[in-house]
Structure formats: structure tokens, C-alpha cells
Amino acid sequence: MVCLSLRSARPHRYRARSRGTQPSGVTLPHPPLPPAPAAPMESSSSPPPPPPPPPPTGGDPSEDGAASELPRLTVTQVEQMKVEARVGDIYRVFFDAPPSTKSVMLELWRDQHVEYLTKGLRHLAPSFHVLDANRPWLCYWMVHGLALLDETLDDDLENDIVDFLSRCQDKHGGYGGGPGQLPHLATSYAAVNSLVTIGSERALSSIKRDNLYKFMLQMKDKSGAFRMHDGGEIDVRACYTAISVASLLNILDADLAKGVGDYIASCQTYEGGIAGEPHAEAHGGYTYCGLAAMVLLNEVEKLDLPSLIGWVAFRQGVECGFQGRTNKLVDGCYSFWQGAAIALAQKLMTVVDEQSKPSYSSKLSSVHDACGTSSSGLASEKSSTVNYAKFGFDFLKQSNQIGPLFHNIALQQYILLCAQVLEGGLRDKPGKNRDHYHSCYCLSGLSVSQHSAMTGSDSCPLPQHMLGPYSNLLEPIHPLYNVVLDKYDDAHEFFSGE
């Protein structure tokens, strides 16, 4: 799992194999190839078949000698086989079920999820003390999850959340993980997104934007990137949380933006994904953060988009969900981190087409030689006059330039059949427990996949682009901030007038 406290992606001691490969001579399950992306602006509503079961253990005694000479399976390979077996069992039950049972299995259990999330906002067990420094995140995961389900909080609960987050706001700017705690960019992002999602005038006006801007300037590093807190680590998630908050609150300017794009571009790896820092491993959470930040900065041309899209697309595996890194297990939270990243790319195909031309690499090289920097959507000498606030707003109004670049129906199948918990809430994968984090990001990913085939920004998904009844439809989000679209519009209007 990955939070926007995103765990550092540790480089493997040995180079990881591509997903689905195996050592020579080792007998592993032979699942079908990952589902191919749907044709542009089309999507089949037929879910993909389940992967076959793993091969039986044991066998002919005469084979024991040969088997003893085979390489041992790695821990990752064993765990992968277990996950495929659990997921395959669920899918076989589904495909063998009568139509009436299939309809029930494909329902989004709204009432149970609402009850689980609402209960968490009102009371958490003592075991949650380990998340004491993440309390604004708990608010965001639950408030955003309920907003996706189109559930309205009562006034008293809204006011309690606003009061609590106000106590988390440092007098010098930024939000800490709890009252009196050190201000931190990640918890500032969570707090601001929570308040924007609540959306009342009291909630939005409680954000002290001037102090928050000063705090973010203090977190600015000479490299152009941001550090998470005073003396903290510098990475791509710090860049994203700072740029996202500043853009959403209409305080993003040239001083905050300077150098961020170059730092993020330096974190793109040979695989195509983006790492947390230069020379680290490509990771789904950082890839989303880096790409979204680049769009908000209007510097997306600094990334190798064809390579990035290819890496993300191939993180969707035989289970139908996404993994976060090469050779890792499927995880429901990447339904958003990877799904939203590739959904952003659907609006960037003009740049992708340009970068795919043979002449682009030579043109880019000449720019490097002349200027010492990568190509950018911004002219550095005019950066002080750039209206950064418009980039997030204008991006949303663009139509998708191509259909889903991932199997959106397959992703919905994984979330509905493998991530839902009957008692409410969603989880990482079968065999794991539900939690508020995965509930938030599985629902966010479900919304992304339902709306990924829309032709226009104001259109509604067609039934063939959804799995299960149309009542499964969630509220659309702004994919750059992961807040519900209506809430973003209200906040944009509020902060544009200040």
C-alpha cells in the first residue's frame, strides 16, 4: 500500500524482472496476458476471464530429482501465486454463478461503505493511536470517500472537522498531523482537501492562505524541489503536495514553481515511471504525483510521456488491478495512483504524438545544447507573468483525446469483486483487512475508471463503460487534486474571488 506519506521505494538488490516473467525451468502458473487497452473511446462491458489456478503441488516421483535441481522460487513469486489463486477463486465463483447472483456480486455496497466511513469520523478504536501524526489524513480519506458516494455530512460533524483541522493549523503556516504538531506538506494537503470537500464558507475561510504560502516558501529547497517539513526529506510527493495545495488555493506563483519541473523530470527512470527522488525506483504513487504536478506547472513536456504511459499501462496485471512497482503485488490503492495517472495522459495525447515523432528527439537535443534545460511549456523569462491558477481549471475542460489507455472494465471488476468487504469498506487485496485509506483510493480509482471513457468534460459515462448496475456510478473527481468535481468548482470560484 502507499499513502501520500508514500513509502520510499527501496532499490532492489537485484534488478527486478518484468511482471509475468519467470526463471528458466521453473513451473509457474500460466495466466493470460494482461488485458489489452480498449479501443479509443470504446470499452467492452464484458469482464475478463479469471486467471487459471496455480499448478498442483506434488507429482510423479520420477520428477523429484529434476525438480530438486530447479531454482527456488523467490518470496515475491510465491506471494504472487497465492494472490493469483485467491483472485482466481473469486472470479471463478463469479463466472460460474447464475445471472441473478452475478448482478448482486457486481453491486457497489453503498450503504455499508457509508456506515463504515461515517462511523470512523465519529469514533476510532484505541489501536488508531499509531496514526496520531496522520489525523488530517484520516479526515480526508473518510470525508472524500463519503463525497464520492454522494453522502452529505450533517452540520455538527462538518463543524467538528473544521474546528479540529483549525487546531492542526500552525500559527506560522501549514497543517500538522495533529494539534501542536510540526507543520508538514503532506498533512497540509490532506487538511486542505478535506476542507475543500466540506466546501462550506466556514471551512474554506478557515485556511490561512498567506501563512501557508510562507510555510511552503520555507520548505523550498535550492534544487527547486520541496522538503516535507523543516529538516525533512526532499522528494516528488513533497513537490506535488505543495504545488497541488498552492494551485487549489490560487497562491501558486513563479517563486513556488521555479525549478520544480526540472527536479521532477530528473526523477523519471529508464522504465518510464517516476521515482521519489533521482536514481531511485519507479513507483506508482510518485508517478501520479510527478505527472499531476507537471500538468499544474504547465511543464509536462519535460517528461517522456510515451515511456511513462507504457510503464503505467503494464502495471495492470492478470488480477485486473494495478501494482505499484515492477514485480510487486496488486494493490487496490493503485486503482487511483496508476489509474488516475494514465487517465491524465488521455488529455495529453497531443504532447505524446509530438514526442513520438522522430524529429522530436533531435529538436530536444538542440534545446539542451543551447539552453542547458529540457523543453518546457513555459518560457523562463516570462514565468513571472504566468497565470498558474488557470492550468488546473483549463485542463479539466479539455476532452479526452483518446479512449481508456487501460482496461477500465477489468479495473472495476477487481475493485467490486476483490476489494469490497461485505461489512463495508474496501481493502488492498483478498486476504487483507479493510481500512479507510484503501476505501478512499479504491473508490477514487473506481470513479476514474467509470469516467475514463467520456468524450467530453460535461458528458456522463455510458452504461457500456461501467461494470454492474448504473447505480454504481460515483461522483466524478478532478484528477489533478483528487477532490470531487463539484467541490473543486466551488473552491475555484471562492478562491478566485479573493
Looking at residue 387, its pLDDT comes to 87
Using the predicted structure, report yes or no on whether residue 434 has a pLDDT greater than 50.
Answer: yes
Hey, what amino acid is at 17? R
For residue 439, is pLDDT > 70? yes
Give CA torsion, residues 123, 127, 129, 133, to 10 deg: -90
86 closest CA partner among 360, 300, 320, 310: 320
Please tell me the predicted confidence (pLDDT) of residue 92. 97
Range 256-278 average pLDDT: 98
User: Is 448 a residue whose pLDDT tops 50?
Assistant: yes
- Give the separation between CA 213 and CA 216, rounded to whole angstroms: 5
DSSP 307-367: HHHHHHHTTB-TTSSBBSSTT--B-TTHHHHHHHHHHHHTT-HHHHHHHTSHHHHHHHHHH
The pLDDT of residue 367 is 43
pLDDT value at 451 more than 50:
yes
- Of 399, 398, 396, 400, give the one whose Cα is nearest residue 489: 396
Convert the pLDDT of each residue in 166-213 to its tens digit: 999 999 999 999 999 999 999 999 999 999 999 999 999 999 999 999
Cβ 118 vs Cβ 414: under 8 Å: no
The length of the chain is: 498
Q: Reduce the DSSP state of residue 457 to 3 states and report it.
A: coil
Taking residue 21's Cβ as centre, other Cβ atoms within 10 Å add up to 9
Q: Do the beta carbons of residue 485 and residue 477 sit within 8 Å?
A: yes
What per-residue confidence (pLDDT) applies to 360?
76
Q: What does the alpha-carbon distance between residue 60 and residue 37 come to, in Å, rounded to a whole number?
A: 41
* 377 phi, psi to nearest 5 deg: -80, -5
Number of other residues whose CB lies within 10 A of the CB of residue 54: 17
pLDDT of residue 361: 65
Residue 316 pLDDT greater than 50, yes or no: yes
C-alpha cell at 496: 478566485
Is residue 317 within 8 A of residue 20, CB to CB? The reply is yes
- Output the CA–CA distances (angstroms, integers) from residue 478 to 197, 202, 392, in the order listed: 12, 22, 9
User: Number of H helices and number of E strands within the chain?
Assistant: 21, 4
**Is the separation of the CB atoms in 328 and 406 below 8 Å?**
no
Q: Would you name the residues annotated as active-site residues?
A: 283, 325, 328, 331, 333-334, 428, 435, 438
- Asked if residue 78 has pLDDT above 60, the reply is yes
Task: Say how far apart CA 363 and CA 56 lie, in whole Å.
Answer: 55
pTM comes to 0.84
* Cβ-contact 146, 111 below 8 angstroms: no
* 209-to-134, 249, 405 alpha-carbon distances in Å: 21, 7, 37
Q: Is the pLDDT of residue 22 over 70?
A: no
Q: Is the pLDDT confidence value at 12 over 50?
A: no
SS3 assignment for 136-197: HHHHHHHHHHHHHCCCCCCHHHHHHHHHHHHHHECCCCCEECCCCCCECHHHHHHHHHHHHH
Q: Which letter does DSSP use for residue 208 in this model?
A: -
**DSSP string computed for 91-115:** HHHHHHS-HHHHHHHTS--HHHHHH
pLDDT in tens, 364-409: 554 444 443 343 343 333 445 788 989 999 998 888 889 999 999 9
DSSP type of residue 382:
G
Give the mean pLDDT of 325-334.
Answer: 97
Distance, CA of 201 to CA of 146 (rounded, Å): 19
Burial class (CB in 10 A: 0-12, 13-18, 19+), 217: middle
Which run of H or E residues covers position 427? Answer: strand 426-427
The H or E element that residue 245 is part of is helix 236-248
- The distance from CA 248 to its chain's CA centroid, rounded to whole angstroms, is 18
* pLDDT surpassing 60 at residue 57: no
pLDDT at residue 26 above 70? no
Give strand pairing partners of 268: 274
Q: How far apart are CA 182 and CA 243, in angstroms?
A: 20
